[in-house]
Amino acid sequence: MKNTNDTIHEARFLSLVLSLYNSAWIAMGKIASPVTGKVEKDLEAARGSIDLLETLKVKTKGNVSPEEERVLVNCLSTLQLNFVEESSRREEKPADKEAPAPRDEATKASPEGETPQG
């Protein structure tokens, strides 16, 4: 059973991981900045957040709970895949064009308001 300090430290660790995760999403132009309300792409900043998560993974190996490790690994792999996608978009399109909205086919509603059946 976890004591109160363990629970607090786990919550703080997960908060740090999710903060870096959200920062990377914002920097990749996948979601709007909560500060400006605009979607802006800064792949170097995204890379920095991903690198920090990678460092956390390496430096905390063996010192985190299975849940903490699962969240960290899932966040990191999701970001890495999306970073590759966004990097290739930058190479394909002129820099002055706005990035398209993130694709999430499973949750897009059809014009009639129904969710596609995959």
Domains of the chain, by residue range, sit at 7-92
* Closest C-alpha to 45, from 102, 83, 100, 89: 83
- DSSP assigned state of 30: S
Mean pLDDT of the region 68-79: 97
Return the higher-pLDDT residue of 63 and 104: 63
Instruction: Tell the residue number behind the tokens 């985190």, with chain if given.
Output: 64
| pLDDT of res. 41 | 93
> Does residue 60 register a pLDDT over 70?
yes
Mean pLDDT of the region 101-115: 45
| pLDDT of res. 118 | 38
Pair of tokens at residue 96: 């002055």
pLDDT tens digits, one per residue of 3-52: 888 899 999 999 999 999 999 999 999 999 999 999 999 999 999 999 99
Which runs of E-coded beta strand occur in 15-54?
none
Report in angstroms the alpha-carbon separations of 102 from 14, 31, 52, 55, 99. 24, 8, 23, 27, 9
Q: What pTM did the predictor assign?
A: 0.73
Return the higher-pLDDT residue of 116 and 18: 18
Report in angstroms the alpha-carbon separations of 77 from 35, 51, 82, 84, 94. 26, 12, 9, 11, 27
